[in-house]
Amino acid sequence: MEKAAPSETQPLTPPKASNCKEGDDCSENGLLIKITEPKFQLVEGANQAHPSQGEKEETTSPVSNGISGAQSPSPCNATGGSKGAPPTPAAPMTTTTLCVAEGQQQLMELDERETWSKKVDFLLSVIGYAVDLGNVWRFPYICYQNGGGAFLIPYTIMAIFGGIPLFYMELALGQYHRNGCISIWRKICPIFKGIGYAICIIGFYIASYYNTIMAWALYYLISSFTSELPWTSCKNPWNTNNCTNYFSNKSTAWTANSTSPAEEFYTRHILQVHRSKGLDDLGGISWQLVLCLMLIFTIVYFSIWKGVKTSGKVVWVTATFPYVILFVLLIRGATLPGAWRGVVYYLKPEWDKLFATEVWIDAAAQIFFSLGPGFGVLLAFASYNKFHNNCYQDALVTSTVNCLTSFVSGFVIFTVLGYMAEMRNQEVADVARDTGKQPRMGKCGQSQFLIFPVLCSVCPISSAVCRMVGVVVF
């Protein structure tokens, strides 16, 4: 049957949108729309598709009821539109292009981050940071005070379940976010940025403390450029009547009031503790140490002022040379008379101390102090890694090297303590107690400044060895 033409009084009513096909003019709520099917093509370098740039989306803007048109959807959101207006098809081309552009911008920001020249530069930097004075002098003292060989059990447990996981977590955070400590914690949660500021403040305090010790080491290094090492003689202006040099005269009796030349050089010449009456008397300024401290800050600045490109080259010396000197000192210490007494005392286990809470606390404190998580340094080092670097393997390697270095350093220290006990005709425990707890020097003291000078003094080329040890500690 043939359809009748519409009369003049019959309104032109397009079919509803639900019955429309592609290409038809349809109506929805009194608005004229046209159904089209957008054509898509792949964008090079993106995993999404968008309409062809040569074809525009055909949408008829409604003109009735005073509505001007639908709002453009927001970037990466295809559900935008004006309130009260019918839903309009999203603009796939614009949306996808913006999403891809934002993703590429983030990737460009990551690529702009400077990276290590070689993987070895990063490993040596982390090892050089983790292996420090705490491995050389603090671990041996903590070990013999908490049960000798038995202390290795809580130390290993704390390393596996506490130190290494935190070490790995900090490397992973730095490598993933590729920012400094403040920016990383702000990205995790804005309120956590205070953690980043706290890390910076702690780092400032630690740097002040460690740079002071490095200034002492630098002064030892400068003092070694003499014909006679000043800590091997009792003829110096700072020496007292109690100074006893058992190196030059083996028949000299060691009494309760006796002090060694190395001890008086450290306490009376460098620290000058005899001039201070207590905490309320700070004493004067030692200009020698002030100059050494200024030189330390200058060297540190020029070592890192161009970023990882310069520091990555410096660590090839600062992280490897200490192991060479440590091996030389270990061989020399093992050949000294009485060295075996110190080794036995170092490794002799006291199993009853495993039931003491203080032993486990000291083990946890030592592993955290040694590995150094929480100071922001590992975050900074790892932020210069490539994004897909295997930081889990790096954490295992560097942590293992750190723990083994601490253990081997104990042999170096206690071979010298055994030698000193042999020369003084004392027990190793008495010598260790004297060198580990000096007056006004804290719980652990700075025994490396009392033991290493003695070890250097008995080496065949004592001046050269002392200079190398000074470089290592420095």
Residues within the annotated binding site for Na(+)? 128, 130-131, 135, 370, 402
Q: Which residues are annotated as a binding site?
A: 128, 130-131, 135, 370, 402
Which residues, other chains included, contact 206 with Cβ-Cβ below 8 Å and sequence gap of 6+? 375
Which letter does DSSP use for residue 118 in this model? Answer: S
Q: Give the residue ranges of DSSP H helices in 64-113.
A: 92-111
Question: What single string gives the DSSP state of each residue in 165-205?
Answer: HHHHHHHHHHHHH-S-HHHHHHHH-GGGHHHHHHHHHHHHH
CA dihedral angle for residue 262, residue 265, residue 268, residue 270, rounded to 10 degrees: -130
User: Smallest Cα–Cα separation from 282: which of 290, 295, 291, 273?
Assistant: 273
Its sign, for the CA torsion 406, 409, 415, 417, is negative
- Residue 267 tokens, joined: 């306490």
Backbone φ, ψ for residue 42 (5° rounding) = -75, 140
Dihedral angle, C-alpha 453, 450, 369, 439, nearest 10 °: -160
In whole angstroms, give the CA distance from residue 231 to residue 201. Answer: 37
Pairwise CA distance, residues 44 & 463, whole Å: 67
